[in-house]
Chain A
Amino acid sequence: MSRIDELKAMVNLKEGRIDRRIFWEDWIYQLELEKLFAKSWLFVAHESQLPNTGDFLTTYMGQDNVIVSRHKDGKVHVFTNSCTHRGNRICFADRGKARQFTCNYHGWAFGTNGALMGMHEESHYEGHINKADFGLQNARVETYKGLVFACFDDEAPRLEEFLGDFRWYLDVILDQTEEGTEFIGGCIKNMYNANWKFGAENFIGDSLHVGWTHASGARAVSKGGEVPEYMPVDPESFHANANGHGWEGGTDGVGTLALISSGNPMLVDYFENERKNMAKRLGELRARKLYGSVISATVFPNFSFLPGINTMRTWLPKGPRQFELRAWTMVNKNMPDSIREIVQNACAMTFSPSGIFEMDDGENWENATLANEGVVTRKQNLHYGLRAGTSHRNDPELPGNISKPMYSDVNQLAFYQRWMDFLSAESWDDIPKVR
């Protein structure tokens, strides 16, 4: 049996069974780096982080460290952060302003578009190098309503096609206002001894953990009173997925707002008022029923967010049993400072390493990963079978593959189907353009 056949047997979409080795084995992780992270579009920045020429930040695409930088052509360029001379890292700051990036080792200097500009004692190199051949490796870069994505594969479809029907859902947070969105400055980073997919699959569809894992947070917010039903058993709640991206949540329009406005009724008033404008851009369904509900979502493979709470985060793989989470809070540019402050603090209070909800997640993901060190334990498949096979593509209102209610493994299975599409493909020709 080839490695790919072996891998294919690890995800049973029909019955919803997953082999635990996908969260553990080094060879599978290496395949993920080669065939998924080096081929897929990946979130790298929000445009608001790079407003001016020379602004840059550094991040990872898979385990490839990259510089994301605004060049004098006005465009954002993304390129590998490793000198073409001896391979040393070139830029060591998380973000900043630069005219060029100069390697500490021998002074090779690269432009804010990744091109090799020159080097220390350049005269020695005359006749020995064609500088045009030794620029940094550039990724393709495209944006969607403020979010910057990059891709190392020339064969990949355009970003719009990659996002497909999921754009309709992204617009709920990205397109509420004419002015658009921005990230609050800075970034919160922390490490988990867990497989990166646990973060991604949790956000793509895990409605059922909310009431249980996060019972402590919900009870804290209710201040000793009765815990309100943030996620009532709502028959209209749903899983939606498209091309491996997924959105799960309710339609009551108030669950998340209740959570973040705890003690701040002015926040509810603000958003109720804003819904009128939102409805003009997004329609009644998205403005009044989706926005404000408890919702979580993942853009395949590793970019997740919570509409309303507005945490935006990327799960950066660091091996099969470790990942780094980088998180930002996103706000609408036109939000008054008082509202912005409430959203920012509510996000830190709920979903950050110190947050009363997020604190309980890491514990689960780490132990779900590390239990697999046992060879006997590792051989028992996991149940992902709740409402497996129930999604359909003909909902009158909602684009993508829909399954109702949200208490299911439908989106998780769609995620692993897409994951298998990538890992078993030789090239983009083998990857279905629409899922």
Chain B
Amino acid sequence: MTIKNNIKNMMTDTENMLLWHRVNQFYNQEARALDEEDYATWFSMLAEDIHYWMPARESLFRKDEESDTVNKMNHYNESLQSLQLRVARLHSGAAWAEDPRTRYRHIITNVEVELGDEEGEVNVRSNTIVYRNRLEREEYWLLAKREDILRDTGDSFNVAKRKITPDFSCLLSKNLNVFL
């Protein structure tokens, strides 16, 4: 029996599986680029008009919960140009706090795909676990939800929108020297 869990998208299960596989391949490549600080590759995976957004979260009573908006404090609210500016710091030869390097590990999981509103766009939700280890015993874990809009480029994708919803309200480390 075929379970049509993607009726809205009019995708067959086979099409869905193929899309899911391609998206996973893309995310694995992206994770590797970030782990290896290969930002040239990472930037090539982002759309020219990307909006890369990570709002700061607060602990609010359920009745007071608000929807996220870029008009409140953000960890990231970036264009491709501003992401490049951030990376330029690392490549400046003077980022003392990154020498020796941070050991990064990006794990991408719980990937769900559906066709987007625009032709060639895919809406993807995923979870990410980012591990950082530095120097002798510094160790930090970050977990977050990612909501992406990917654009199909034929042989691959690029990221047109990414909203990162972190599971921390107070970041438990001295900095956020990583992209998720």
Contact = CB atoms under 8 A, between A and B. Distances in A.
Contact of A352 (B55, B59, B75): B75
B171 A345 contact: no
Contact of A219 (B60, B94, B171): B94
Interface residues of B, number: 38
Contacts of A194: 174
Interface string A191-209: 1111000000000000000
Contact of A94 (B169, B172, B174): B169
A185 B70 CA distance: 10
Contacts of A184: 71-73
Contacts of B92: 215-216, 219-220
A43 B172 CA distance: 23
Contact of B96 (A220, A221, A352, A360): A360
A27 B89 CA distance: 40
A48 to B, nearest CB: 13
A220 B93 CA distance: 10
Contacts, number: 139
B76 interface: yes
Contacts of B48: none
Contact of A192 (B64, B85, B174, B176): B174
B61 A96 contact: yes
B63 to A, nearest CB: 8
Nearest to A357: B89
A223 B88 CA distance: 7
Interface in A343-381: 344-345, 348-349, 352-354, 356, 358-360, 362-366
- Of A95, A189, A223, A263, which is in contact with the most chain B CB atoms at under 10 Å from its CB? A189
A94 B60 contact: yes
A386 interface: no
B170 interface: yes
A92 B89 contact: no
A215 B173 CA distance: 22
Contact of A324 (B94, B96, B170): B170
Given A215-B94, A354-B75, A358-B175, A93 B81 contact: no
B85 A191 contact: no
B56 interface: yes
Contacts of B59: 92-94
The prevalent SS among residues of A at the interface is mixed
A354 B75 CA distance: 6
B170 A224 contact: no
Contacts of B86: 220, 349, 354, 356
B174 A348 contact: no
Given A189-B171, A363-B97, A349 B73 contact: no
A306 to B, nearest CB: 15
Contacts of A191: 170-174
Interface in B90-109: 90, 92-97
Contact of A193 (B60, B96, B174): B174
A249 interface: no
B178 to A, nearest CB: 8
A93 B175 contact: no
Nearest to A217: B89
Contacts of B60: 93-96
Contacts of B89: 216-217, 219-220, 356, 359
Given A220-B86, A354-B76, A97 B171 contact: no
Interface of A: 92-97, 184-194, 213, 215-217, 219-221, 223-224, 262-263, 324, 327-329, 341, 344-345, 348-349, 352-354, 356, 358-360, 362-366
Given A345-B77, A353-B173, 7 more contacts: A185-B71, A190-B171, A215-B92, A215-B94, A348-B77, A349-B86, A354-B75
Interface of B: 55-56, 58-61, 63-64, 69, 71-77, 81-82, 85-86, 88-90, 92-97, 169-177
21 contacts: A92-B59, A94-B59, A94-B60, A95-B60, A96-B64, A97-B64, A185-B69, A185-B71, A186-B56, A216-B94, A219-B92, A344-B77, A345-B74, A352-B75, A354-B75, A354-B175, A359-B89, A359-B97, A359-B176, A363-B174, A366-B174
A-B CB proximity, top 5 nearest: A362-B174, A186-B72, A186-B73, A96-B64, A363-B97
